[in-house]
């Protein structure tokens, strides 16, 4: 089993959308007979993109999985989304990989999503190799793409290990710089060895020398021999290169074309020869359940079982499918394990391996394997599963923050409860979503990474659970308050046949500091209002404050002192004093200079320097107040406070201002007064809606 673990490579394909990750996965699987036909993204027949929402967009929105054999090794593929909208899934799935193949488009170069995915590999400490794809396309330029990667993706020295033969339509082959061997590819992706083209001889010699120098620099003993003029063997170079890659000191740069099937075999060779097995990856950090001490979980097949759930698929018919990686130990075709995150024992009756949209039964598996089990009762993404003899918990990555919210409502009457329960199931599948019911506006709010994220979720909701919803910009939870101190009378007197109604109170109302809420003071002396009726006055004020006098928003941050009144021995009642309290509140607010309050958000925007001017101007137009600016690598970080009303649709606006390179986070700070002219407009709109 240890030998099997050493021969396993679990890699994630990372890139911006459209760089060719899925096409690369398809050709890798096809070349090895794992699939019988070569799927094309444009034709909608790929093995790795199969959800209807993916086929419609011709883009991955969820990570998919497959595996194939290569030179007696098993390569396990994770094809991740390249769109920022679905980057939570990319980040969560990347935890299960041991290394990453970062795909760069030879035409478009490095885009912001590639930079962010690269940052994820830094976060998880994973080795990487770069594959420059689409060299057969018009305007493709290998050296330009390499330069772009060197400048944009930091943290390790990049080494060109292959050169393309020809370019654009004339791209026909690849030169391996380690062995100085040239290969030409036919239309079926079969290679044949050829002489290095004469016009490339000087370039190959120079790049080969540079590569050997770079490899030797990573190993002191080799460097010494190299400087003394010794010739280093191919095996020594390969060994030193692999060591430097595993130590994350070096990133090899390969090239090819996924759709033309050029260089894919050499890429698979590099995955096997240069990237880590689970044993090379080493121990996973965990915490022991009994004393919270930090422990290391080694990829040992003989150790107690430990696994980490990094993805969940919600299926309305088959139930929940939990996808996890075995970190240590082994599992058989059925059995039980302990979920230390939920503190519950779970049983499973079938172990599954995932091949695109298909799941195939498996008799057993060990460290490094990516598997699935169906219908676990409590288990969700981020949970740790283990043998009860060694209870540990692995701390997984948190979902990325949500950036945009929509109010969702049912298209069909009676579907409200179904919306909530169905969305809860989709959130198990996609932790990048957030669902909450806003008690102040009574809206169900669905939040995600962007508009495309929300729209794809709504499509999935209809397809999987037959629930149709409408999306609206959420209402802003405004509040109302007062600005001056007043004293008023609230009197409720009603004479009917028999008992009448009588309640009379005098109150002082005054503003409190922002965020203080509501304070009630009983200052009645001499029993002018009996003690039993005083709580009724307070209740009347509290209830009336829920629907303020300006525009029906809750009134906050005020103090009421009840200091006088009168009662009738027969006609007074709790109800009469409650009404009197309510009347006093309404009268007092109108006299106390009422104003509208709005939520102010703390906003952090990260953007490349060249967009600073546009962003600052835009923040001013949104009534934003810049608190400070800072440098973070090649980006600028702007901290500001902005009214929520001005920021509800900021995600698509920032994307268009920065070409998708800007990011922001937002959290509630405080409530502040709305400027008078804007408040008047809001109040008029509310009144016309309710008229």
Predicted pLDDT of residue 478? 93
Q: Reply yes or no on whether the pLDDT at 56 is more than 70.
A: no
Q: Cα 369 to the chain's mean position, in Å?
A: 24
| pLDDT more than 70, % of the chain | 95
User: What is the H or E stretch that residue 650 is in?
Assistant: helix 650-658
The whole-angstrom separation of Cα 80 and Cα 93 is 7
**Which residues, at least 6 apart from 119, have a Cβ–Cβ distance to it below 8 Å?**
none
Architecture of domain 480-593: 2-Layer Sandwich (3.30)
Predicted pLDDT of residue 31? 86
3-state SS, 412-436, equals CCCCHHHHHHHHHHHHHHCCCCEEE
Q: Reply yes or no on whether the pLDDT at 82 is more than 90.
A: no
Homologous superfamily of 2-197+251-281 in CATH? P-loop containing nucleotide triphosphate hydrolases (3.40.50.300)
- Tell me: domain 404-472, CATH 3.30.70.870, correct? yes
Please state at what angle helix 574-591 crosses helix 534-545, rounded to 10 degrees.
50
Lookup result for tokens 């199931």: 425
Strand order in the sheet with 191-194: 162-165, 173-176, 181-185, 191-194
**Which residues, at least 6 apart from 30, have a Cβ–Cβ distance to it below 8 Å?**
36, 37, 38, 39
pLDDT digits (tens, 9 = 90+) for 209-256: 899 888 888 888 787 787 777 777 788 888 888 999 999 999 999 999
Lookup result for tokens 């911006």: 16
Predicted pLDDT of residue 633? 66
Do 417 and 475 meet the contact criterion of CB atoms below 8 Å apart? Answer: no
Predicted pLDDT of residue 73? 94
Specify the 3-state DSSP secondary structure of 287: strand
The whole-angstrom separation of Cα 24 and Cα 189 is 13
Predicted pLDDT of residue 194? 93
Do 127 and 99 meet the contact criterion of CB atoms below 8 Å apart? Answer: yes
The whole-angstrom separation of Cα 662 and Cα 651 is 9
Do 372 and 359 meet the contact criterion of CB atoms below 8 Å apart? Answer: yes
Q: Looking at mean pLDDT, say which of 331-335, 406-410, 616-620 comes out highest.
A: 616-620
- CB-CB neighbours of 399 under 10 Å: 20
- CB-CB neighbours of 546 under 10 Å: 11
Specify the 3-state DSSP secondary structure of 366: coil
Q: What is the mean pLDDT of residues 386-394?
A: 92
Do 461 and 455 meet the contact criterion of CB atoms below 8 Å apart? Answer: no
Does the fold of domain 598-690 match that of domain 404-472?
A: yes
The whole-angstrom separation of Cα 165 and Cα 1 is 41
The whole-angstrom separation of Cα 86 and Cα 17 is 10
Specify the 3-state DSSP secondary structure of 467: coil
Q: Reply yes or no on whether the pLDDT at 274 is more than 80.
A: yes
Predicted pLDDT of residue 674? 95
Sign, CA torsion 269/273/274/280: positive
Structure tokens at 495: 């004479």
Structure tokens at 85: 């909208």
Predicted pLDDT of residue 48? 62
- CB-CB neighbours of 686 under 10 Å: 17
* Cα dihedral: 650, 656, 661, 666 (round 10): 0
- For residue 657, CA distances in Å to 341, 610, 638, 648 come to 41, 11, 15, 16
Do 108 and 82 meet the contact criterion of CB atoms below 8 Å apart? Answer: no
* b/e code 635-665 from CB counts within 10 Å (16+ = b): bbebebbbbbbbbeebbeebbebbebbbbbe
The whole-angstrom separation of Cα 503 and Cα 507 is 13
Any idea where the domains of the chain sit in the sequence? 2-197+251-281, 284-393, 404-472, 480-593, 598-690
Do 82 and 15 meet the contact criterion of CB atoms below 8 Å apart? Answer: yes
Neighbouring-strand partners of residue 78: 12, 65
Predicted pLDDT of residue 428? 84
Alpha helix ranges (H) inside 258-364: 264-274, 278-281
DSSP 476-523: P--EEE--S-EEEEEEEEE--SSS-EEEEEEEEEEE--TT--EEEEE-
- pLDDT band of 10, cuts 50, 70, 90: very high
Do 322 and 392 meet the contact criterion of CB atoms below 8 Å apart? Answer: no
Compare 590 and 356 and report the one with higher pLDDT.
Answer: 590
Structure tokens at 437: 């019911």
The whole-angstrom separation of Cα 353 and Cα 367 is 14
Q: What is the mean pLDDT of residues 581-590?
A: 96
Class of domain 598-690: alpha beta
Neighbouring-strand partners of residue 434: 447
Tell me the CATH number for domain 284-393.
2.40.30.10
Structure tokens at 156: 């390790």
Q: What is the mean pLDDT of residues 75-101?
A: 91
The whole-angstrom separation of Cα 505 and Cα 536 is 11
Predicted pLDDT of residue 44? 64
The whole-angstrom separation of Cα 541 and Cα 41 is 63
Do 53 and 459 meet the contact criterion of CB atoms below 8 Å apart? Answer: yes
Averaged pLDDT score across all residues of the chain: 89
pLDDT digits (tens, 9 = 90+) for 135-163: 999 999 999 999 999 988 877 889 999 99
User: What is the H or E stretch that residue 336 is in?
Assistant: strand 335-339
Q: Reply yes or no on whether the pLDDT at 53 is more than 70.
A: no
Sign, CA torsion 88/89/92/94: negative
| pLDDT more than 90, % of the chain | 56
Specify the 3-state DSSP secondary structure of 532: helix
User: What is the H or E stretch that residue 203 is in?
Assistant: helix 201-217
Specify the 3-state DSSP secondary structure of 310: strand
Structure tokens at 281: 């990856």
Neighbouring-strand partners of residue 192: 184
CA angle 328, 333, 339 (to 5 degrees): 50
- pLDDT band of 3, cuts 50, 70, 90: low
pLDDT digits (tens, 9 = 90+) for 313-365: 877 666 788 999 999 999 998 899 999 999 999 999 989 998 887 888 999 99
Predicted pLDDT of residue 43? 63
pLDDT digits (tens, 9 = 90+) for 436-445: 888 777 888 8
Do 16 and 105 meet the contact criterion of CB atoms below 8 Å apart? Answer: yes
**Which residues, at least 6 apart from 557, have a Cβ–Cβ distance to it below 8 Å?**
481, 511, 512, 513, 514, 515, 516, 517, 518
């Amino acid at each position: 089993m240890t030998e099997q673990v050493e021969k396993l490579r679990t890699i994630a394909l990372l890139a911006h959308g459209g760089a060719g990750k899925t096409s690369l996965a398809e050709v890798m699987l096809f070349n090895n007979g794992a699939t019988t036909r070569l799927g094309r993204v444009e034709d909608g027949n790929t093995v790795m993109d199969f959800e209807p929402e993916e086929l419609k967009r011709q883009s991955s929105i969820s990570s998919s999985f497959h595996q194939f054999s290569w030179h007696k090794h098993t390569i396990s593929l994770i094809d991740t989304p390249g769109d920022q909208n679905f980057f939570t899934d990319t980040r969560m799935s990347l935890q299960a990989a041991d290394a990453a193949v970062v795909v760069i488009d030879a035409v478009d170069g490095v885009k912001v999503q590639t930079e962010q995915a690269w940052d994820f590999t830094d976060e998880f400490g994973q080795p990487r190799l770069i594959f420059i794809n689409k060299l057969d396309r018009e305007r493709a330029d290998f050296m330009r793409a390499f330069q772009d990667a060197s400048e944009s993706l930091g943290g390790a020295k990049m080494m060109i290990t292959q050169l393309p033969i020809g370019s654009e339509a004339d791209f026909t082959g690849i030169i391996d710089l380690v062995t100085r061997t040239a290969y030409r590819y036919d239309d079926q992706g079969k290679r044949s060895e050829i002489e290095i083209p004469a016009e490339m001889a000087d370039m190959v010699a120079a790049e080969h020398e540079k590569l050997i120098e770079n490899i030797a620099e990573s190993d002191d003993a080799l460097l010494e021999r190299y400087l003394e003029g010794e010739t280093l063997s191919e095996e020594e170079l390969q060994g030193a290169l692999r060591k430097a890659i595993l130590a994350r000191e070096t990133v090899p740069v390969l090239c090819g074309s996924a759709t033309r099937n050029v260089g894919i075999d050499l890429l698979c060779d590099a995955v096997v020869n240069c990237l880590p097995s689970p044993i090379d990856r080493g121990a996973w950090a965990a915490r022991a359940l009994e004393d919270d001490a930090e422990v290391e979980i080694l990829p040992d097949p003989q150790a107690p079982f430990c696994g980490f759930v990094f993805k969940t698929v919600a299926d309305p018919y088959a139930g929940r499918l939990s996808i996890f990686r075995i970190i240590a130990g082994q599992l058989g075709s059925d059995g039980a394990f302990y979920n230390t995150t939920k503190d519950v024992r779970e049983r499973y009756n079938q172990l599954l391996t995932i091949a695109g949209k298909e799941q195939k039964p498996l008799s057993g598996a060990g460290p490094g394997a990516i598997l699935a089990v169906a219908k676990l009762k409590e288990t969700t993404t981020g949970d740790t599963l283990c043998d009860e003899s060694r209870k540990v918990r692995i701390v997984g990555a948190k979902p990325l923050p949500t950036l945009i919210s929509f109010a969702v409502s049912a298209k069909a009457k009676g579907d409200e409860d179904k919306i909530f329960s169905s969305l809860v199931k989709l959130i198990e599948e996609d932790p990048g979503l957030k669902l909450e019911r806003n008690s102040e506006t009574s809206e169900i709010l669905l939040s995600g990474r962007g508009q495309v994220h929300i729209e794809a979720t709504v499509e999935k909701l209809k397809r999987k659970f037959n629930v149709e919803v409408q999306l609206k910009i959420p209402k802003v939870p405004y509040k109302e308050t007062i600005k001056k101190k007043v004293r008023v009378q609230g009197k409720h007197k009603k004479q009917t046949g028999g008992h009448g109604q009588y309640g009379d109170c005098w109150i002082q109302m005054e503003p409190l500091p922002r965020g203080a809420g509501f304070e009630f003071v009983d200052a009645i002396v001499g029993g002018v209002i009996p003690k039993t009726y005083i709580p009724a006055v307070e209740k009347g004020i509290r209830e009336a404050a829920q629907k303020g006098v300006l525009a029906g928003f809750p009134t906050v941050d005020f103090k009421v002192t009840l200091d006088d009144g009168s009662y009738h021995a027969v006609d007074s009642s709790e109800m009469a004093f409650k009404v009197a309290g309510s009347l006093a509140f309404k009268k007092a607010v109108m006299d106390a200079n009422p104003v509208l309050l709005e939520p102010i958000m703390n906003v952090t925007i990260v953007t490349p320097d060249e967009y600073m001017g546009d962003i600052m101007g835009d923040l001013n137009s949104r009534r934003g107040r810049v608190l400070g600016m800072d440098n973070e690598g090649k980006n600028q970080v702007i901290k500001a406070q902005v009214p929520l009303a001005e920021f509800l649709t900021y995600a698509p606006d920032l994307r268009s201002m920065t070409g998708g390179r800007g990011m922001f986070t937002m959290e509630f700070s405080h409530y502040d007064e709305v400027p008078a002219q804007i408040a008047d407009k809001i109040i008029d709109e509310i009144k016309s809606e309710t008229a």
